[in-house]
Structure 1
Amino acid sequence: MVAPPQLLHYHHHLFSHQFPKTHLQRHNLTKRGSTSLTRMSISSDPRPLDSKCSLAFVAPLEAILFDIDGTLCDSDPLHYYAFREMLQEVGFNGGVPITEEFFIENISGMHNEELCGVLFPGWDLQRARKFFEDKEDMFRRLASEQLEPMKGLHKLREWIENQGLKRAAVTNAPRPNGELLVSALDLLGFFEVLVIANECDRAKPFPDPYLKSLQALNVSNKHAFVFEDSVSGVKAGVAAGMPVVGLGTRNPDSLLLDAGATFVIKDFGDPKLWEALEELEKKAVKQ
């Protein structure tokens, strides 16, 4: 099944603004990305008290780690469309299509294994897993045709390469999705490491995927930072002992900041980011 281009254009428009969050939505979004801190090995927040919009405390910078979905590209509209069509086919919600608000509140950012119980509590696990395999197949077909990089990504890539920094992509998505998105964005030769969270002992919001990335790059968490767009991802980066720059693609800035983001940008062209990177460069020269 291939989505009519005009429908996907329409849904990109719907996702081009932040949906108003009810109290329940805010609660669910926070709950979804915040596994109890008492169950996690959390490092102390790496941000100095006076570090607003600053990354200077990681100088000399050695590596940058990126989430993929929602960070390198705004892929949620494609995930939403695939879920909407597939759920309608199996008669979910009496066959009534899910809304964007339902998708954001109940689906976006969650692991497929978690969603098995959330969406299909009455299904056996094998049947639920097959649904998600088919959904991911549909998403990949759409992404291969319609994916676009986050604004400013190519400029940032050039800066990173000129600085000689190490880089890794770290995702909760299945490996086929992660590999497809990195390839579609022409970043196969850019990333030295691709870490898939479900191949680690624990996925985000636990720190394991980011710790694995640091180990693979042979870099200290004191000289690296993370780009993330979700509460779960921000918590994972902070738990791994790194500052996290939040991408305000879908979640309100306040949620990302509450999760521990050092600051939030709208995209990779945001002046806040470039001021922070310039400050990093100047501090590295002095050292």
Structure 2
Amino acid sequence: MSISSDPNPVESSHSFAVVAPLKAILFDIDGILCGSDPLHYYAFREMLSEVGFNGRIPIDDEFFIQNISGRHNEELCGTLLPDWDIQRARKFFEDKEDMFRRLASKQLEPVKGLQKLCKWIDEHGLRRAAVTNAPRPNGELIISILDLSNFFEILVIGNECEWAKPFPDPYLTALKALEISHKHAFVFEDSVSGVKAGVAAGMPVVGLGTRNPEKLLLDAGASFVIKDFDDPKVWTSLEDLLETKA
């Protein structure tokens, strides 16, 4: 399986049933494993105001969703702080991530139904990977806080690939490491860029509507959208896949 910067490297399908037999499930981290986006939003709002962004008028939730959510910091350097020297911009985002980690260490909670889903995955011997555009310290911290360090076989960081999400490279990297075809895996994502990355890697994507509007996720290519991991749509789909395998 080659890793490509082409956003559409393989023929993709929105049909959830095409992954049967199911062999692996790939997870984004922020907004999927935990409700971390409100903490990112708070950190961005406070720190952007401090540096005079938008005339010190705090960003709102809509701005965060449309311009920040799901994007990696290197990209945001150019879109949020285009007039800054790159080193200064990178330092801003390092400080923002430090603030996020301080908040996360005290306030992070798993998405409803996550533990039940992880147990089901274990019981059925499925492979799994975490794939994120977040910096590695963030990903490792969240996975540790949620006690999932032994659950995930691999953690793929977007900026450690040739191209981050919305390009498919991070998901293709995970599939290659797991030695699983895109034909036997699907993705849980909550951002537009993440959904596009999963679809471009040839996999169906289940959108989690914890933060971003359902329509945005569906328009990006999500097969369907759930509210959390207790949503009956998840379990109906998983059981259907097991029946197909049988």
Asked if Structure 1 and Structure 2 have the same fold, meaning a TM-score greater than 0.5 normalized by the shorter chain, the answer is yes
The answer as to whether partners of 2:22 and 2:185 remain within 8 angstroms in 1 is yes
Which of 147, 159, 165 is equivalent to 2:108? Answer: 147
Instruction: Report the CA distance between 1:184 and its aligned residue.
Output: 1.0
Superposition pairs of residues 46-125 of structure 1, within 5 angstroms: 46-47=13-14, 51=15, 55-125=16-86
Moved over 6 A (4+): none
Instruction: Report the CA distance between 1:112 and its aligned residue.
Output: 1.1
TM-score (norm 1): 0.81
The answer as to whether partners of 1:257 and 1:264 remain within 8 angstroms in 2 is yes
The answer as to whether partners of 1:234 and 1:244 remain within 8 angstroms in 2 is yes
> What is the match of residue 9 of structure 2?
42
How large is the RMSD of aligned CA atoms in angstroms? 1.5
Q: Per the alignment, in what secondary structure is the counterpart of residue 60 of structure 1? A: coil
- Pair 1:142–1:262, CA change in 2 (3 A): same
175-184 vs 117-126, which deviates more? 117-126
The answer as to whether partners of 1:43 and 1:238 remain within 8 angstroms in 2 is no
84-93 vs 129-138, which deviates more? 84-93
146-155 vs 103-112, which deviates more? 103-112
The answer as to whether partners of 2:6 and 2:168 remain within 8 angstroms in 1 is no
> What is the match of residue 132 of structure 1?
93
Superposition pairs of residues 203-282 of structure 1, within 5 angstroms: 203-282=164-243
Instruction: Report the CA distance between 1:91 and its aligned residue.
Output: 2.3
CA distance in 2, matches of 1:56, 1:119: 40
Q: Percent identity?
A: 74
Which digits, 9 at most, give the CA deviation of each residue in 1:222-280, with x for residues without a partner?
11111111111111111111111111122222221221111111111100111001111
The answer as to whether partners of 2:71 and 2:165 remain within 8 angstroms in 1 is no
* Structure 2: 5+ residue stretches without partners: none
AA at the equivalent of 1:201: E
CA distance in 1, matches of 2:184, 2:201: 12
Structure with higher RCO (Cα < 8 A, 6+ apart): 2
The answer as to whether partners of 2:12 and 2:201 remain within 8 angstroms in 1 is no
Q: Per the alignment, in what secondary structure is the counterpart of residue 211 of structure 1? A: helix
Please identify the structure whose Cα radius of gyration is greater.
Answer: 1
Q: Per the alignment, in what secondary structure is the counterpart of residue 136 of structure 1? A: helix
AA at the equivalent of 2:29: I
AA at the equivalent of 2:19: V
Q: Per the alignment, in what secondary structure is the counterpart of residue 269 of structure 1? A: coil
Instruction: Report the CA distance between 1:145 and its aligned residue.
Output: 0.7
Instruction: Report the CA distance between 1:93 and its aligned residue.
Output: 2.5
CA distance in 1, matches of 2:226, 2:96: 30
Which digits, 9 at most, give the CA deviation of each residue in 1:81-112, with x for residues without a partner?
11122122222233332222322232222221
TM-score (norm 2): 0.94
* Structure 1: 5+ residue stretches without partners: 1-37
> What is the match of residue 8 of structure 1?
none
The answer as to whether partners of 1:72 and 1:150 remain within 8 angstroms in 2 is yes
Instruction: Report the CA distance between 1:39 and its aligned residue.
Output: 5.4
